[in-house]
Amino acid sequence: MGSSPLKPPRGTRDFYPEEMRARSWLFARFREVAHRFGFEEVDAPLVEHAELYQRKAGEEIVDQLYHFELHDRHLALRPEFTPSLARMVIARQGALRFPIRWFSIPQCWRYERMTRGRRREHYQWNMDIWGEPSVSAEAELLAAIFTCADLLELPRDALRVRLNSRALLEESLRGGVLRDRPEAFAPLCVIIDKLDKVGAASVQEQLADAKGPVGLSAGEAEDVVALLSVKDLDEAKRLAPERSEAMAELERLFELLDHYGDADRVAFDASVVRGLAYYTGVVFEANDTAGELRAICGGGRYDRLAETLGGKPVTAVGFGFGDAVIHELLADQGKLPELPRRLDAMVVALDEGQRDAAIALAGTLRERGESVELATGTPRLKRALTDADRAGAQRLYWIGAEERERGVARARDLATGEESEHPLEGESEHPLEGESEHPLEA
């Protein structure tokens, strides 16, 4: 059952000019926030060695890899940017001055089951800080997410972040059920990340699967799942080990968020652990408050990824913010702007004999930085007016034999209908400067 080669593969998108305008509009906001927070943009290849992604904790993302063999190499389309970023940092680890703040907007590929806002390719705005061990980095990143939500003009309560600390969960479990098996922690997180999707009973079953990577007893699995229901920092503190470092960090983070004016937009939620194996500390997800869509953004601290990939130890924290779910939320909230084509002017030669003058006029306007479509044909004036209007042009300039004779181009402002004349440079002996509405050499 072949699919038509004339359609884009399922789950992927073509970007026609109108979709491309919407995408550029969104990316401009991502870049604006990154700029305000002092991040520099980076990129990496779309295709990487598949090995870069082959982690063994049972993550969904590994099963969803688009990968292929080519000339004895096993390659993959990037499903996320973080491993590429780690590779880039490791390659210059001796020369970089930490902390570094880098952002990117890569296209990522995952063979996903599709739901609203989830597709097989998406663009993901990433912001990462490397080399800052304190939660002041997490606070900066969370503030950037809220700045973006504000810049997109979402109501303050439309998006909220749920946050937890894997380090806190690890402290609790290391002192108990995972005392002798620290390696089971990452697969345990990957399993409990599915709680919302598959429910408590299935998570417990997987945690207690004797052949699985975690292998708890049924009672232990039940205790772990019970821990996840805590939604209050004070309650979490009561349950945390004494003098818990992870708890102290969480408290500090909430204090910092308060200074940013964002503490009310973040809630502690012990069930947030994230589905990627490399996270080690604070983890967070942003969702629409109505809870109708999948995660808008997800991130956290991954202090051991550099080592895992063969680099020297260096701390890191970051987030990925997809383009697809936020698009759905903006549409639901009526916050997607009308983005018509923007064209300052259309210039038309009414016959081929006037093309040289039209080229010169378009050149002058373009030199001023205007966006100008020089009609490649020689339409009649009526047709040119309709074309210019449809193209969203502000003004139409036309030059026919009669205008040329007088050394002018005529122009119409398409919004007001007002007409004016403009001297053609180097042609008119008596440039009509006084009469010109838009003198070219103003």
| Type and span of the H or E element at 386 | helix 381-390
Stretch 79-108: interaction string toward ligand HAM, x if CB under 6 A = -x-x--------------------------
Q: Assess 160 for contact with ligand HAM (CB under 6 A).
A: no
Taking the complex as a whole, how short is the minimal distance between the CB of residue 154 and ligand HAM, in angstroms? 15
Kindly report whether the peptide bond that precedes residue 340 is cis, defined as omega within 30 degrees of 0. Answer: no
Interaction with ligand HAM in 253-282: which residues (CB under 6 A)? 276
Instruction: Report the alpha-carbon distance of residue 39 to residue 319 in Å, rounded.
Output: 13
| 299: Cβ contacts below 8 Å, ≥ 6 apart | 141, 283, 284, 317, 318, 319, 320
Instruction: Report the alpha-carbon distance of residue 200 to residue 427 in Å, rounded.
Output: 82
Taking the complex as a whole, how short is the minimal distance between the CB of residue 257 and ligand HAM, in angstroms? 18
User: Considering only 95-103, 119-127, 249-257, 419-427, which stretch makes contact with ligand HAM by CB under 6 A?
Assistant: 119-127
Q: Residue 318 in 3-state DSSP? A: strand
Q: With respect to ligand HAM, which residue has the nearer C-beta, 122 or 422?
A: 122
Tokens for 120?
């097989």
Contact 363, 424 (CB under 8 A): no
Q: Assess 112 for contact with ligand HAM (CB under 6 A).
A: yes
Helix 218-227 × helix 185-192 angle, to 10°: 70
User: Considering only 48-56, 145-153, 315-323, 431-439, which stretch makes contact with ligand HAM by CB under 6 A?
Assistant: 315-323
Interaction with ligand HAM in 127-156: which residues (CB under 6 A)? 128
Tokens for 295?
């995660």
| 289: Cβ contacts below 8 Å, ≥ 6 apart | 157, 158, 159, 160
Work out the number of other CB atoms within 10 angstroms of the CB of residue 215: 16
What is the residue whose two structure tokens read 């937009």? Answer: 265
Instruction: Report residue 167 CA to chain centroid gap.
Output: 27
Q: With respect to ligand HAM, which residue has the nearer C-beta, 136 or 386?
A: 136
Stretch 337-376: interaction string toward ligand HAM, x if CB under 6 A = ----------------------------------------
Interaction with ligand HAM in 54-83: which residues (CB under 6 A)? 80, 82
Q: With respect to ligand HAM, which residue has the nearer C-beta, 122 or 412?
A: 122
Nearest 5°: the CA angle 62, 65, 69 is: 120
User: Considering only 27-35, 162-170, 294-302, 381-389, which stretch makes contact with ligand HAM by CB under 6 A?
Assistant: 294-302
Q: With respect to ligand HAM, which residue has the nearer C-beta, 185 or 321?
A: 321
Contact 106, 123 (CB under 8 A): yes
User: Considering only 24-32, 87-95, 229-237, 322-330, which stretch makes contact with ligand HAM by CB under 6 A?
Assistant: 322-330
Taking the complex as a whole, how short is the minimal distance between the CB of residue 338 and ligand HAM, in angstroms? 24
Tokens for 234?
């004070």
Q: What long-range pairs does 412-420 form, CB within 8 A, spacing at least 24?
A: 412/385, 413/437, 414/385, 414/388, 414/389
Query: Residue 339 carries which DSSP code?
Result: -
Tokens for 407?
């050394």
Q: How far apart are the first and last CA of the chain?
A: 64
Q: Which amino acid does the sequence have at 273?
A: V
| Total chain residues near ligand HAM (CB under 6 A) | 24
Among 78, 101, 110, 412, binds ligand HAM (CB under 6 A): 110
Q: Assess 322 for contact with ligand HAM (CB under 6 A).
A: yes
Among 122, 265, 395, 412, binds ligand HAM (CB under 6 A): 122
Among 104, 124, 280, 420, binds ligand HAM (CB under 6 A): 124
| C-alpha atoms less than 13 angstroms from C-alpha of 280 in its C-beta half-sphere | 16
Q: Assess 298 for contact with ligand HAM (CB under 6 A).
A: yes
Q: With respect to ligand HAM, which residue has the nearer C-beta, 102 or 268?
A: 102
User: Considering only 50-58, 113-121, 182-190, 421-429, which stretch makes contact with ligand HAM by CB under 6 A?
Assistant: 113-121
Instruction: Report the alpha-carbon distance of residue 303 to residue 305 in Å, rounded.
Output: 6
Residue of 58, 55, 107, 104 lying closest to 78 (CA atoms): 107
Q: Assess 164 for contact with ligand HAM (CB under 6 A).
A: no
Q: With respect to ligand HAM, which residue has the nearer C-beta, 12 or 202?
A: 12
Q: With respect to ligand HAM, which residue has the nearer C-beta, 190 or 208?
A: 190
User: Considering only 111-119, 169-177, 180-188, 338-346, which stretch makes contact with ligand HAM by CB under 6 A?
Assistant: 111-119
| Residue of closest CB approach to ligand HAM | 322
Among 324, 347, 372, 424, binds ligand HAM (CB under 6 A): 324
Distances from the Cα of 431 to the Cα of 188, 359, 361, angstroms: 80, 19, 14
Binding region for ligand HAM (CB under 6 A): 80, 82, 110, 112, 117-119, 122, 124, 126, 128, 276, 295-299, 318-322, 324-325
